[in-house]
Amino acid sequence: MTEGWAGSGHPGQGACVWTPGTRNTMNLLREILFKQQFGNQPRVPAPYYRRKTYLCYQLKQLNDLTLDRGCFRNKKQRHAEIRFIDKINSLDLNPSQSYKIICYITWSPCPNCANELVNFITRNNHLKLEIFASRLYFHWIKPFKMGLQDLQKAGISVAVMTHTEFEDCWEQFVDNQSRPFQPWDKLEQYSASIRRRLQRILTAPI
């Protein structure tokens, strides 16, 4: 048996969690969903749809061995970031060992989720968290800017997804039928623009 995804429901309806010894591609993100939700275009291309928050994570040992993977989306009363925190807490990781968590997220965290992530990392100094966002959420509003700065101050790496991260997300979390990642038009141009905006936020006094 090979490693794969196990869980109940489609990724758009609940969690899909990586477990060893199983393979269920039905719980991978569909290609169209990935391109719609992780696309970094400044405007939604036609046909129009709502952009939601999806968070895909990889929990690794420092030797790069993957221990767990999962994908969450927002629910009505519980954002994807909070569901992610709940999941990691449920794993009862050994506090005497160090771990790295890489998160790919469609929207950067809101102020409340940023605060929860800061508290989570503050309580778990054996974890190193890296967040790569496809897009910035309400980046012109002060509390959202402050949330991003607070993440950085807490030692959480906050960056913008580039071709490298989109490709890794495609390979790790999408039912890609073994097809290589094909970037959409102007992906790198949009990424560079968002990256400059994030850098201004993280370095500007608020």
CA distances, 33 to each of 8, 17, 29, 77, 163 (Å): 18, 17, 7, 22, 18
Name the pTM for this structure. Answer: 0.86
- Give the pLDDT confidence score for residue 40 in this predicted structure: 97
Q: Give yes or no for residue 26 having a pLDDT over 70.
A: no
What is the Cα–Cα distance from 148 to 154, expressed in whole angstroms? Answer: 10
Pairing of strands 127-135, 99-107: parallel
- Give the pLDDT confidence score for residue 48 in this predicted structure: 83
The average confidence (pLDDT) of the chain is 88
> Which residues have CB under 8 Å from 96's CB, separation 6+?
126
Q: Give yes or no for residue 101 having a pLDDT over 70.
A: yes
- Give the pLDDT confidence score for residue 153 in this predicted structure: 97
| Mean pLDDT, residues 118-139 taken together | 97
The domain locations on the chain are 31-175+184-203
Task: Name the residues annotated as catalytic.
Answer: 81
94 vs 20, higher pLDDT? 94
- Give the pLDDT confidence score for residue 15 in this predicted structure: 44
| Mean pLDDT, residues 149-171 taken together | 98
Q: SS3 of 97, please?
A: coil
Superfamily of domain 31-175+184-203: Cytidine Deaminase, domain 2 (3.40.140.10)
| Mean pLDDT, residues 86-109 taken together | 97
- Give the pLDDT confidence score for residue 97 in this predicted structure: 96
| Mean pLDDT, residues 40-62 taken together | 92
